[in-house]
Amino acid sequence: MTTLAEASPPLRRLFDRLDFAPSPAEPALGSALSAWTRLRGRDAAPKWPAPTGGLGARSAVFLRKAGTRDYELAWKGSAFEALPDPLAQGATLASARGRRGALHG
């Protein structure tokens, strides 16, 4: 679901086909996928900053940080506040302790 927000029509069709495949069994994940699809419209990813309604408490959005090989936390749901050492808004993945497990839940 994450790539350049603007894409050529052939690439956009590829993402439409790829996004057709997921069918989450968990209702919260299905709701988050629906919200993501609604937010992105016909683009490969939503333009940011985007409204985050519907993404859910257990969702987070990381955007590639310009000029680096790193990603920055643009938005996080409330469930991330309960983690022992949560990433702050705007923090990069490279700054996370235990980076290899930073995205595992």
pLDDT in tens, 31-54: 888 888 888 887 777 777 777 778
Q: Is residue 60 part of a domain?
A: yes
pTM for the model stands at 0.59
For the chain, the domain total comes to 1
Q: Is residue 103 part of a domain?
A: no
Q: Is residue 104 part of a domain?
A: no
How many Å apart are CA 15 and CA 79, to the nearest integer? 28
Domain enclosing residue 21, as ranges: 9-94
Q: Residue 1: its pLDDT value, please?
A: 44
15-20 contacts: CB < 8 A, separation 24 or more?
Answer: 15/44
Q: Is residue 32 part of a domain?
A: yes
41, 21, 5, 29: which is closest to 77 by C-alpha? 29
